[in-house]
Amino acid sequence: MSRTIAVTGMCLVMLLMSLNAKAEDSNVAEKWIEAWNSHDVERVLALFTPDVVYEDLPFGVRNHGSAELRAFAVGIFTAVPDLRLDLLNRSLKGRHGTIEWVFSGTDIGLHKTQRRFSVRGVSVIEVHGQLISRNSDYYDLATILRQLGLLPAGL
């Protein structure tokens, strides 16, 4: 009888931990999406540790620390003033996770095409406490370039 109670108790604890992990998972991803969609640089910076490493792999950009991330965010908001991210999926196990998204907007300042684009991508994150200490964005730059008319179809 006491063994059954212990097993049942362990199952309840594991269920609660699983539900809590999903809540944390959702919380980090949703805050990340909301911050970028707010177009508020301070709100974006508030999600990251002061020594954050933030990479945009397709463009070969690596930002280290809050000052570089600030400049990157300002640049993105200027180049794509109608930037929008839509959350597709997320996962956080321990300190490591992913945020899968669709990034869309109008190219105003990067290539100055005035054309809209939309691309699916993923951010691989590392979390320390409640803050993201590492963020690496992966997406298909060729898809964006095709949509902007800068890369022929089929390449």
Summarised one tens digit per residue, pLDDT across range 62-100 is: 999 999 999 999 999 999 999 999 999 999 999 999 999
Q: What is the pLDDT of residue 25?
A: 52
Contact between 104 and 22 under an 8 Å Cβ cutoff? The reply is no
Higher confidence at residue 154 or residue 98?
Answer: 98
The SS3 call for residue 60 is coil
The full length of the chain comes to: 155
State the average pLDDT over residues 99-108: 98
Examine the pLDDT at 7 and tell me if it is beyond 90.
no
| Reported pTM | 0.83
Return the CATH number of the domain spanning residue range 2-147. Answer: 3.10.450.50
Domain spans in the chain, listed from the N-terminal domain onward: 2-147
Q: What is the C-alpha separation between 90 and 25, in angstroms, rounded?
A: 7
Cross-strand bridge partners of residue 137 = 56, 123
Bigger pLDDT: 84 vs 1: 84
Per residue in 16-61, pLDDT tens?
344 344 434 559 999 999 999 999 999 999 999 999 999 999 999 9
